[in-house]
Amino acid sequence: MTFDFDRFPDATLAAIPRVDLGGWPTPLHAAPRLGDALGLPSLLLKRDDVHPLGAGGNKLRKLEYHLGAAREAGADTVITFGALQTNHGRQTAAACAKLGLRCELVLTAKVPRDGEAYERSGNIPLDKLFGATVHVGTDDADTTRIYDRLIADAAAEGRTTATVPIGGSNALGALGYLRAIRELAGQLAERGIDHAQLVIPHASGGTAAGTTLAAGQLGNLEVNIVCVSHPTDDARANLHELHTSAATLLGVGTTPPRFSMTDATLGPGYGIPTDAVWHALRLFGRTEGVVLDPVYTGKVAAALVDWKHNLDIDPNEPVVFLHTGGMPGLYGYTPELTTAVNRDTPR
């Protein structure tokens, strides 16, 4: 049996407003040297980091729906949120540049990190390069004040705003990953693969929710989720809510999502890389020439590296690691990156 493409709600999905940001499908390729190192003979990388717009990443898929809705509503100004080194903010800025929309990024300094690299480099100059205005709030209350002011200013100037939630994660954003997994299943089928195990992140949850929803429709995909922001209890609750609301939006049954989940590589918390993360970055780099980031993909990769302890996968089956992007954020961690690459012995 192969993927159940007939059951997939292509027509319903096609009727939901969406802007095409181009660049699809993203590549799927084998990673044999990394697979050898990990004892996973059929390891594949789905490269959502490879995209012509704004240095790529998973948010572009969600933004196609958010900006489709914004366009339908006649919005000329897009407001969204994130941490200082938000990849979502950078991709929103790039997508708005492409579509000629004004972009306001309301960032909060919530990761316990400072210094020139984290506060001024990485994603932040790219946000500005793509023409966004960056506002930094000191805490959640300050962020809310900034947001309220932006809404009031837009109203006074006769502009129409669209607000995209943090990480682009709500029912609408999750649809981006429903499409992504449909795309991936097509690529797997072309290779004669009819069953695969996916390894994906959970932070704001839209990627995971779209993936579980697509896997429920297509069958034959096992979803392994690695928490990079919240511990498993919180992540599970968030995923159930997003999965159900996306299923409702799409008009498909709200069967509970099937997945396994771990927070084994979360470490001290969101945005704080561990030695295992830097080790995973070095391993991907020196076996495949692939760059990860220390906040998201590095934590998922750390779980993959120690898959025997962390993941519920059969090593003889195809394993697909979803690369969700984030490379610009690596430069926000330049001091630690420099130390990691100069360590004498790769672990």
Ligand X SMILES: Cc1ncc(COP(=O)(O)O)c(C=O)c1O
Interface with ligand X in residues 219-248 (CB under 6 A) = none
Give me the residue label for tokens 């919530």.
110
Q: Does 80 bind ligand X (CB under 6 A)?
A: no
Q: Does 201 bind ligand X (CB under 6 A)?
A: yes
Q: Does 325 bind ligand X (CB under 6 A)?
A: yes
Binding segment for ligand X (CB under 6 A), chosen from 2-10, 29-37, 276-284, 292-300, is 292-300
State how far the Cα of 73 lies from the Cα of 194, in Å rounded to an integer.
40
Q: Does 326 bind ligand X (CB under 6 A)?
A: yes
- Compute the half-sphere exposure of residue 301: CA atoms within 13 Å on the CB side of its CA: 30
Q: Does 85 bind ligand X (CB under 6 A)?
A: no
- Report the residue number, 217 or 324, with the smaller CB distance to ligand X: 324
Taking CB under 6 A as the criterion, the residue among 77, 87, 121, 265 binding ligand X is 87
Q: Does 167 bind ligand X (CB under 6 A)?
A: yes
Interface with ligand X in residues 4-63 (CB under 6 A) = 57-58
Taking CB under 6 A as the criterion, the residue among 96, 185, 193, 203 binding ligand X is 203
Nearest 5°: the CA angle 244, 247, 252 is: 135
The distance of closest approach from Cβ of residue 176 to ligand X in the complex, given in angstroms and rounded to an integer, is 9
Identify residue 124 by its one-letter amino acid code.
I
228 contacts 201 by C-beta, under 8 angstroms: yes
Interface with ligand X: number of residues (CB under 6 A)? 20
- Report the residue number, 31 or 193, with the smaller CB distance to ligand X: 31
User: Mask: binding to ligand X, 88-117, rule CB under 6 A, as x and -?
Assistant: x-----------------------------
Edge-to-edge strand ranges of the sheet holding 260-262: 28-30, 43-47, 319-323, 196-202, 221-227, 260-262
User: Mask: binding to ligand X, 243-282, rule CB under 6 A, as x and -?
Assistant: ----------------------------------------
Of the candidates 247, 91, 71, the residue with the CA atom closest to the CA atom of residue 162: 71
Of the candidates 263, 207, 272, 208, the residue with the CA atom closest to the CA atom of residue 230: 263
Binding segment for ligand X (CB under 6 A), chosen from 110-118, 268-276, 308-316, 322-330, is 322-330
State how far the Cα of 329 lies from the Cα of 123, in Å rounded to an integer.
6
The distance of closest approach from Cβ of residue 47 to ligand X in the complex, given in angstroms and rounded to an integer, is 12
Q: Does 169 bind ligand X (CB under 6 A)?
A: yes
Of the candidates 311, 5, 36, 15, the residue with the CA atom closest to the CA atom of residue 181: 5
3-state secondary structure of 201: strand
161 contacts 190 by C-beta, under 8 angstroms: no
Which positions touch ligand X (CB under 6 A)?
57-58, 87-88, 167, 169, 201-208, 293, 296-297, 324-326
